[in-house]
Amino acid sequence: MHSEIGSDSQPGTLAQRATAMLNRFYGYSTFRPLQLDIITTAMEGRDSVVLMPTGGGKSICYQMPALLSDGVVIVVSPLIALMKDQVVALTSNGIPAAAVNSMQTDEENRDILAQLFSGRIRVLYISPERLLMEIDRWSRDMNIALVAIDEAHCISQWGHDFRPGYTQLRRIKEIYPHVPVMALTATADRLTREDIARQLALVDPRLFIGSFDRPNISLKVMTNPGKTQRLNYIGAIIDRYRNDSGIVYCISRKGAEDMDRQLRMRGYRSTVYHAGLSVTERNRAQDRFINGDVQVVCATVAFGMGIDKSNIRWVVHNNMPRNIESYYQEIGRAGRDGAAAEAVMFYSYGDIMTLRSFVDESGQQALNSEKLARMKDYAEASLCRRRILLSYFNETMDHDCGNCDVCLNPPERIDGTVPVLKALSAIVRVNGGAGITMLIDILRGMSRQEITQRGYDRIKTFGAGRDMSFGEWNSYISQMIQLGLIDIAYDDYNHLRITPYGRQILNERREVLLAKYEPLESRRSTRRQHKEDEKPALSPAEMLLESLKAVREKIARKEQVPPYIVFTDKALLEMVRIEPLDMESFAGVEGVGERKTVKYWRPFVTAIRKFKGITDKFGPGLSVDETLLLLNAGYDVDAIAEAKGIKSSTVYSHLVELINADKLTDFSTIITREQYLRVMEVVKAHPDTYYEILSTEMPVGLPRVAVAISDFLMRRKADHR
Ligand code: ADP
Ligand code: ZN
C-alpha cells in the first residue's frame, strides 16, 4: 500500500529507495555527503560511529532505516527536552514516532511501548536510564532495525559531558548482538571516539567523519567594543531578524541578567537563562524561546543543549568562550536549516583575564591554557576565520571562505613602523608598568594624576602620539599584540610587556605593516542613518517571505507547534525562489514532503498567488497528478474531493486516467475485492449498460475504475508473457 512505511517489497536499489523516501517524507531531493553511506552501513547490519557537527544532518541517518525496513529504530538520547521536538518533527512528516521518558506518566510510557512492540511506532526516543530499566524485559526477537546512540560522547570519561547513565549501554549489544548500533556525536576527539566504540562493545565499527564546515554561518569578531556599541549592535541584529530569534551568550549569570534587562529596556522581547534559575523558570524561558515568544535569550553556556530550533538566525557571544570546541558548538545552534545565519563575537582583553582564572582553577591547566590560547588566536586573526576554525578540527580548507569579516573586509595595510616604534619605546620606558589604556594616555600626552604621580609624563615618548585618536591607538596596539610584538601580562594587572620579537623590531627599527584603522564614527553614522530611515524598505522577495512567515505563524499557533516544525526558514526561502502556484509545484519545493504538501499547500500557494496578483481561483479538478499525490498520502476518494473542492465523480475519473497511464498500481484503498468482482460480473452480462445498473449499488464512477483496473491487469499479464 502506498502510504505504508517500510514495506521492503519496493523495487530499486537501496540508494534509490532511500532517495525516494527522503523525498516523500522529508521533501529533500538529495542526501548530504556521508548520509547515504551511513544509512547503507546500518542497513547492512554493521555498527558505526558518526561524527558530524550540529546541524550536519545526523537525524536522517538514523531515522531512515525505519523507513527502509520493517524494523523499528530505538534512539537513545540524554536530552529529554529535545525528544518532544524530534517526535513532533517526525510525526509532522508522517513518520510515527514517540518518546519514553520520565516526563510522562507510567501509563503513557507503557502505552507507547505497547505500540512499539506492535510496530505501530517506528522511531522511539528513550533516555539511557529508561532503556536500561526496560531492555531486559523486551522480547529478544523484537524486530529492531537499528539502535542509535545520540550524543554518544557522553559515554566517555574523556568527553566533556560524561553521563553515568551511558556506561551500561553495552547491554544493548549483549542482548541484541545482531542489531546494528550507530553512535552519533558532534564532538569527539580520537580518544573519545575509541572509548565510545569500546564502551558500547561495537563490532568493527565504520567511522564516519563529516565536514565541520558550516558555510551558511557568517563569522565576525569585534574587538573591545564598548557597552553601548554592543547593545546597538545586538539591537541592529534583532531588528534585522524581527520575526526570528537569536542567542546572546554571556560569561556569567550576572552578565546574562544585565544584558536581558538592557535589551528589554530598549523594547526587545528578551528573556534570560542560566543555571541559577529554578527548573520551572528555565523551562519557561526555553519554551518561550522555542515558540518564538521572545526574540532573544540572554544565556550562559547552560543554554542550548537540547535546542533543536532550526530557525535560530544569529548567535552573539558577549564574551569570548573558553575554547574553540565550545564556541563552535554554540554558534552551530544558528542556521541549522542551512539558511544564512550570523555568528558575532565581542572580544575584550578583560575576558581573557576572567578566562585565565577559570583555567587556573581547572583540573587540566596546561591543556586548558593551550585551548584558550587557540581561541584567542581565532579572535585576533587577520586571516580567514573559517580556515582557522576548520584547521582546529584538523580539516584543511584551501581557499578563503568569503563569509567572514576578514574575507569580506580584507584590511588595507599601511606602514605602521612609526607608531609601533613609539609604542614599543613607551612600554620599555614605563618598564612594563602600564596597561593598554594608560599606555595610550601616555602616548597622547594626557597628564592625569595616575600618570604624573608615577612620573610617566616625563618620559621621552609622553605625548609623542597626540596626532592619533584613542581608537586609532587602540587598534594598532591590539594588532601589535596579535603580531606578537607585545604581550599582556594577565597575571600582572594586564600590563603590557615587550616580547623578544618586539625588542628585535625596536632595536633593528624594522618595518611593520598594520591594518589601516577604520574610524568607528564612519561605521556608526551609516548605522544611524538606517535607524532614521526607520525600517529599511523590504525587497519584493523579503515581502513575500514575510507574508509566508505570517502564514506559517498562524498554522503553528493553530496546531500548537513551533513554527519551524511547520516549515524551516530554508523551505520558506525556497518557496520565495520557486513561487509555486499549485499543489504540484509546491510539492516540488525542497523541504516540502508529501504529508506537508497535502496539509499546507493551500494556505501557502494562496499567499503566493495573492502576492503575485493572481486573482483567479484554483480551477476545479486541477490536475490529475494532484489526486495521485493525495491518494499516496492516504486520502480516500471523499477526502480528496473535499480537499480539492470537487465532486467525487471527478476524482473517480482522475483515477481512471491514472490507472490507464500506469501511474496507479495499488488499488486496495479504492475498491474492495467484492466490489471489483461484482462489477466484472455485471460487465460481462451487460457490457453496454453496466454503468446504469450498478449506479444504485456503489458510488458513481467506481465501475469505470474497476474496468480500468481490469484492463491494467490484462496489460500486466501480457507483459509477463
Ligand atoms: P543534527 O542532528 O546533525 O544536528 P539535523 O539532523 O537536525 O542535524 O539536520 C539539520 C537540518 O538539516 C535539518 O533542518 C534537516 O532537516 C536538514 N537536512 C538534513 N539532511 C538534509 C538533506 N539531505 N537535504 C537537505 N536538508 C537536510
Ligand atoms: Zn573567511
Which of ligand 1's atoms lies nearest the C-alpha of 186? Answer: 3
Of the candidates 13, 42, 83, 362, the one whose C-alpha atom is nearest the C-alpha of residue 181 is 42
Which of ligand 1's atoms lies nearest the C-alpha of 52? Answer: 3
Of the candidates 391, 377, 385, the one whose C-alpha atom is nearest the C-alpha of residue 342 is 385
pLDDT digits over 393-418, tens only? 767 777 888 999 988 888 788 899 99
Sign of CA dihedral 445, 449, 455, 456: negative
CA 568 – CA 266 distance, rounded (Å): 29
Asked whether the predicted pLDDT for residue 527 surpasses 60, the reply is: no
pLDDT digits over 449-506, tens only? 889 999 999 999 999 999 998 888 988 888 787 677 888 776 777 789 998 889 999 9
Global pTM? Answer: 0.66
Instruction: Tell me, using a 6 A CB cutoff, whether residue 77 lines ligand 1.
Output: no
Instruction: Tell me, using a 6 A CB cutoff, whether residue 86 lines ligand 1.
Output: no
In contact, 484 and 501? CB cutoff 8 Å: yes
Instruction: Tell me, using a 6 A CB cutoff, whether residue 28 lines ligand 1.
Output: yes
User: 344 CA distance to ligand 2 centroid (A)?
Assistant: 13
Q: Is 309 exposed, middle or buried (0-12, 13-18, 19+ CB in 10 A)?
A: buried
Residue 265: strand, helix, or coil: helix
| Lowest-confidence segment of 123-127, 407-411, 568-572, 655-659 by average pLDDT | 407-411
Instruction: Tell me, using a 6 A CB cutoff, whether residue 56 lines ligand 1.
Output: yes
Instruction: Tell me, using a 6 A CB cutoff, whether residue 60 lines ligand 1.
Output: yes
In contact, 34 and 207? CB cutoff 8 Å: no
User: 26 CA distance to ligand 1 centroid (A)?
Assistant: 10
**Which region holds residue 658: left if phi is over 0, alpha if psi is between -120 and 50, else beta?**
alpha
pLDDT attached to residue 154: 85
Instruction: Tell me, using a 6 A CB cutoff, whether residue 94 lines ligand 1.
Output: no
Of the candidates 138, 190, 121, 134, the one whose C-alpha atom is nearest the C-alpha of residue 159 is 190
User: 377 CA distance to ligand 2 centroid (A)?
Assistant: 15
Of the candidates 207, 25, 14, the one whose C-alpha atom is nearest the C-alpha of residue 594 is 25
DSSP E strand stretches across 203-340: 206-209, 217-223, 245-249, 270-273, 296-299, 312-317
CA 55 – CA 49 distance, rounded (Å): 17
Task: Pick from 59, 86, 212 the residue to mutate for probing ligand 1's pocket: most ligand atoms within 8 Å of its CB.
Answer: 59
Instruction: Tell me, using a 6 A CB cutoff, whether residue 311 lines ligand 1.
Output: no
pLDDT attached to residue 157: 67
Q: How confident is the model at residue 679 (pLDDT cuts 50, 70, 90)?
A: very high
pLDDT digits over 168-186, tens only? 899 999 999 999 999 999 8
pLDDT digits over 638-652, tens only? 888 877 778 888 899
**Cell digits of residue 346:** 565581542
In contact, 401 and 461? CB cutoff 8 Å: no
The dihedral formed by the CA atoms of 333, 335, 338 and 339, expressed in degrees to the nearest 10: 180
Segment 498-527 shows an average pLDDT of: 75
CA 528 – CA 50 distance, rounded (Å): 47
DSSP character at residue 457: G
- Strand 123-126, strand 312-317: pairing: unpaired
CA 478 – CA 44 distance, rounded (Å): 56
CA distances from 690 to 127, 694, 702, 704 (A): 61, 6, 11, 10
Q: How confident is the model at residue 371 (pLDDT cuts 50, 70, 90)?
A: confident
Segment 32-45 shows an average pLDDT of: 95
Other beta carbons less than 10 A from residue 679's beta carbon: 25
Segment 364-371 shows an average pLDDT of: 78
Instruction: Tell me, using a 6 A CB cutoff, whether residue 55 lines ligand 1.
Output: yes
Q: How confident is the model at residue 522 (pLDDT cuts 50, 70, 90)?
A: very low
Name the amino acid, one letter, at 11: P
Q: How far apart are the first and last CA of the chain?
A: 25
Asked whether the predicted pLDDT for residue 56 surpasses 90, the reply is: no
User: 221 CA distance to ligand 2 centroid (A)?
Assistant: 12
Asked whether the predicted pLDDT for residue 43 surpasses 90, the reply is: yes
Asked whether the predicted pLDDT for residue 7 surpasses 60, the reply is: no
pLDDT attached to residue 50: 96
pLDDT digits over 575-621, tens only? 999 899 888 889 899 999 988 988 899 899 999 999 988 877 665 44
Which of ligand 1's atoms lies nearest the C-alpha of 35? Answer: 23
User: 386 CA distance to ligand 2 centroid (A)?
Assistant: 5
Which of ligand 1's atoms lies nearest the C-alpha of 54? Answer: 4
In contact, 324 and 371? CB cutoff 8 Å: yes
Q: How confident is the model at residue 306 (pLDDT cuts 50, 70, 90)?
A: low
CA 585 – CA 578 distance, rounded (Å): 8
Alpha-helix runs per DSSP H in 213-293: 227-240, 253-265, 279-290
Instruction: Tell me, using a 6 A CB cutoff, whether residue 310 lines ligand 1.
Output: yes
Segment 284-296 shows an average pLDDT of: 89
pLDDT attached to residue 532: 40
CA 83 – CA 90 distance, rounded (Å): 11
- Kindly give, in sequence order, each residue whose CB lies less than 8 Å from that of residue 355, ignoring residues fewer than 6 positions away: 251, 320, 322, 372
Which of ligand 1's atoms lies nearest the C-alpha of 56? Answer: 3
CA 717 – CA 696 distance, rounded (Å): 32
Asked whether the predicted pLDDT for residue 622 surpasses 60, the reply is: no
pLDDT attached to residue 529: 42
CA 693 – CA 414 distance, rounded (Å): 95
Task: Pick from 63, 208, 336 the residue to mutate for probing ligand 1's pocket: most ligand atoms within 8 Å of its CB.
Answer: 336
Segment 290-298 shows an average pLDDT of: 91
Which of ligand 1's atoms lies nearest the C-alpha of 32? Answer: 23
- Kindly give, in sequence order, each residue whose CB lies less than 8 Å from that of residue 344, ignoring residues fewer than 6 positions away: 220, 221, 222, 233, 237, 314, 315, 316, 317
Which of ligand 1's atoms lies nearest the C-alpha of 60? Answer: 6
Q: How confident is the model at residue 636 (pLDDT cuts 50, 70, 90)?
A: confident
Name the amino acid, one letter, at 573: L
CA 186 – CA 620 distance, rounded (Å): 50
Q: What angle do CA 22, 143, 123 make, to 5 degrees?
A: 40
pLDDT attached to residue 160: 58
Strand order in the sheet with 123-126: 97-100, 123-126, 72-76, 144-149, 181-185, 48-51, 206-209
Average pLDDT of the chain? 86
pLDDT attached to residue 486: 86
pLDDT digits over 85-106, tens only? 889 999 999 899 999 988 888 8
